[in-house]
């Protein structure tokens, strides 16, 4: 698995996140056909995974956490929709 930085292809999404939320940093990655949106504010980190073609796999969630979170032992909250097509990871700083 590889995370590919595709932030430049999602300029409107990044601009919207920076203007309508308290985000100070936004990156967008592709993990195959799963889109990963990393958002950081002064108080927290939010990572959203979305795949409208299939369910997101547990190994994808673990891979993203290991790659994007500096401290792998940090506690986080997972929010999963019923279809498992969108997963949100919330980390308090």
Write the pLDDT tens digit of every residue in 54-74: 999 999 999 999 999 988 788
Closest CA to 34 of 45, 24, 47: 47
Closest CA to 51 of 24, 27, 29: 29
Domain that holds residue 28: 4-92
Reported pTM: 0.92
pLDDT of residue 70: 85
Please name the residue that has the structure tokens 């949100």. Answer: 88
pLDDT of residue 73: 81
Work out how many domains the chain is built from and give that number: 1
Structure tokens at 52: 């409208």
Write the pLDDT tens digit of every residue in 10-57: 999 999 999 999 999 999 999 999 999 999 999 999 999 999 999 999
Q: How far apart are CA 38 and CA 47, in angstroms?
A: 5
Q: Please report, for the domain that includes residue 31, its CATH number.
A: 3.40.1720.10
């Amino acid at each position: 698995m590889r995370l590919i930085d595709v932030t430049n292809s999602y300029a409107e999404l990044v601009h919207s996140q920076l203007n309508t939320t308290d985000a100070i940093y936004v990156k967008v990655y592709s993990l195959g056909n799963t889109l990963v949106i990393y958002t950081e504010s002064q108080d927290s980190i939010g990572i959203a995974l979305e795949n409208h073609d299939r369910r997101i796999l547990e190994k994808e969630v673990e891979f993203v956490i290991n790659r994007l979170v500096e401290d792998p032992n940090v506690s986080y909250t997972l929010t999963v929709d019923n279809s498992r097509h969108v997963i949100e990871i919330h980390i308090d700083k």
